[in-house]
A and B are shown apart, each in its own frame.
Chain A
Amino acid sequence: MGKINLTALRVRKTALNQFASGKINKLPQWVDVVGQIPPSEALIRTPSPQHQLVRQRMKTVAGSSKPQVVFEVQEKPRKSKKPSRLFQPVELKYEEDELRHTFFRDHPWELARPRVLLESTGKDHEHYDWSRITQPGKRLDGESVVQRQLWLLNNVPDMTKSNAYDIARREFYRLRLQEDIQRRVAAEEAEATGAQFGPSYLEVGMELENQQYEKWKAWAKTQAQLFDQRTAALSGAPEVALEQQSQEEAFAEPPEAVTV
């Protein structure tokens, strides 16, 4: 057996050979099936599909009054001319990639918002029309801005990238502000009709901090007492020290509570 094991691909041939040589006295049922539907060729390298970055733009041409659709192909300089690289897969690139990069560089917290990754049918894009930024069944997020910007670049005559970015962003900010107001009004309405939301994060934090402070206060008190005791003993007033010691025994705090 060499490096490559072709046993699995040659099952039919093997079965026919075994039958011809008398090793098996009956051909298996699947022999004609594998004959009719042969396994595909394996181990044959084909040139990998090449992907070009194509940009669609609307441009006004000097001669005509109507803007025309222009396709700009970005010829990527090949990294290596080595023949062995011919069969290697190529990076997939789309125009949205840089738009997406720009948007999420400027708005990194947009990535922290929850997002639905599940696809129900894989045909979600069929319901989308990016001449508007809001889409049925899609939550407004960074991707909406990117797709809207791309639509503007593809369909509006003489649109620049920064201009499209500004337009899409402005629409996005407006809707986000509207969402904020809606949320605030909803909370206000709920409170007015008897809802209780409990303490806010800041209040919870303050409460925890107060607890720690109270602990520290108890610890500091005992420390101060001990210190007074020691100074009294050293200054030659043992009756004061003894008195304080008896007080301390009455106080009797477990040492575990003194951790800070």
Chain B
Amino acid sequence: MIVRNLFMRQSRQLIALNRQAPVFTRSLSTEVASDTITQTPSVGSAEIAQSPVEQGIQTTSTVPEPRPLKQWDALEKRRHKFNTLGSKVQESYDPENVLRNPPKPADVTLEMLLAAGTHMGHSTSRWNPQNSRYIFGIREGIHIISLDVTAAYLRRAAKVVEEVAARGGIILFAGTRKGQKRSVVRAAELAKGYHIFERWIPGSLTNGQQILGHCKTKVVNALDQELSKFRVDLADRPSIKPDLVVVLNPLENVVLLHECGLNNVPTIGIIDTDADPTRVTYPIPANDDTLRGTNLIAGILGRAGEAGQARRLKMAQEGKTTYEPITARQLRLDPLTGTPPPGSELEKSERD
């Protein structure tokens, strides 16, 4: 029962009287009291209506418009005043957050993995028994992946990414499913690696000269600054091969993993309960069908790569490297024969 309308409801006669409605009902209703509409215009207002120019002058002179800056200030003040009112949403889930600010490998918790849904495998009939050691149990007809195993394998994979990045290795992130594009690009951006989000062109490793031969390469020093004087020596080099490949969907990228095997490249992959764990060097047992989960895992690996790159650059500034740097002579040697190319400056200097 609404008390404030009780009076109005019970006494129609009072409302029937044409009079000013009480303030409290007027503020709640959109209707305007009829008195103001039927009000006969006074003589003075009729005069003003005849000369609209005068009217404009009169209104501006009586009520001066506040300046825009002042209006803005008043708005800001009001906003500041009422900002604390209302409820506060705590711990809200923002899907962009894992892309914008992915967690570090040390911050991985089982709750985080659980919330991302990495524990859900496939239907029990579709399992690959090679994954039995990663499986915690059966629930509602699907296999549940053990979250502590996922966390352990994820940390191990992150460590590998970090170490490879610290040694200046080339890391390739591949995620070719719909929706994985942004996370793959973000991870590559963090780890200063490379990314594939469309399709792995078969033969990019085994037939790299034909497929990637036209791609641009550059020589950099330990501080990642380009050395342009070696540009001529890169003309007939074989295409560059990655030192580590991270695959978010190994099921669709069997060709990529096969080529990595042929070219002896270590791989990291998210292995669902229906995938073959021996396809990759470092499996991460997790659900590869949830974008939230793959985004999280890609972000964690990207963060690990970022840490490795930071370490490498810091050491390089101190004049140290964790890897054996390639010499200028090695760069200038013919990649096929291993001798100085005929007619080059290197050959002349060696002859003398």
Q: A residues touching B (Cβ–Cβ < 8 Å)?
A: 4-9, 11-12, 14-15, 18, 25, 28-30, 33-34, 36-37, 39-40, 42-46, 48-49, 51, 87-92, 118-123, 188-189, 192-194
B132 near A87 with CB under 8 A, answer yes
Q: Name the one of A29, A42, A48, A88 contacting B130, with C-beta atoms under 8 angstroms.
A: A42
Which residue of the partner chain B has the closest CB to A51?
Answer: B137
Q: Shortest beta-carbon distance, B2 to chain A, in Å?
A: 6
Question: B193 — which chain A residues lie within 8 A by C-beta?
Answer: none
With A14-B264, A37-B156, A121-B91 known as contacts, the answer to whether A49 contacts B163 (CB < 8 A) is no
Q: Name the one of A6, A45, A193 contacting B278, with C-beta atoms under 8 angstroms.
A: A6
B144 near A11 with CB under 8 A, answer no
B167 near A123 with CB under 8 A, answer no
Q: Is B164 an interface residue when CB atoms closer than 8 A count as contact?
A: yes
Question: B280 — which chain A residues lie within 8 A by C-beta?
Answer: 8
Interface size on B, residues (CB 8 A): 57
> Complex: how many Å from CA A192 to CA B169?
71
A89 near B115 with CB under 8 A, answer no
B160 near A43 with CB under 8 A, answer no
> Complex: how many Å from CA A34 to CA B265?
11
Q: Is B334 an interface residue when CB atoms closer than 8 A count as contact?
A: no
CB within 8 Å of A: which B185-243 residues: 243
Chosen A-B contacts, 27 in total, with CB atoms closer than 8 Å, are A8-B266, A8-B281, A11-B264, A11-B281, A29-B164, A30-B243, A30-B244, A33-B160, A36-B163, A37-B159, A39-B282, A40-B282, A42-B277, A43-B130, A43-B277, A49-B136, A51-B137, A89-B136, A89-B138, A92-B144, A120-B93, A120-B115, A121-B111, A121-B112, A121-B115, A189-B2, A193-B28
> Complex: how many Å from CA A39 to CA B160?
10
> Complex: how many Å from CA A12 to CA B167?
16
Question: A6 — which chain B residues lie within 8 A by C-beta?
Answer: 278
CB within 8 Å of A: which B279-295 residues: 279-283
Question: B31 — which chain A residues lie within 8 A by C-beta?
Answer: 194
Q: Shortest beta-carbon distance, B168 to chain A, in Å?
A: 7
> Complex: how many Å from CA A6 to CA B146?
24
Question: A44 — which chain B residues lie within 8 A by C-beta?
Answer: 133
> Complex: how many Å from CA A46 to CA B91?
38
Q: Name the one of A8, A25, A30, A121 contacting B167, with C-beta atoms under 8 angstroms.
A: A30
Most chain A CB neighbours (cut-off 10 Å) among B92, B144, B278: B278
With A37-B159, A89-B143 known as contacts, the answer to whether A8 contacts B137 (CB < 8 A) is no
With A48-B135, A121-B111 known as contacts, the answer to whether A34 contacts B264 (CB < 8 A) is no
Q: Name the one of B111, B139, B160, B257 contacting A92, with C-beta atoms under 8 angstroms.
A: B139
Most chain B CB neighbours (cut-off 10 Å) among A11, A25, A29, A42: A29
Question: A51 — which chain B residues lie within 8 A by C-beta?
Answer: 137
With A8-B257, A33-B167, A122-B114 known as contacts, the answer to whether A92 contacts B266 (CB < 8 A) is no
B266 near A122 with CB under 8 A, answer no
Q: Shortest beta-carbon distance, A221 to chain B, in Å?
A: 46
Q: A28-B243, A33-B167, A49-B146 are in contact. List 9 more A-B contacts (CB 8 A).
A: A7-B261, A29-B243, A30-B167, A40-B153, A40-B283, A87-B132, A120-B91, A121-B111, A194-B31
Question: A29 — which chain B residues lie within 8 A by C-beta?
Answer: 164, 167-169, 243, 323
Q: Shortest beta-carbon distance, B284 to chain A, in Å?
A: 11
> Complex: how many Å from CA A192 to CA B6?
11
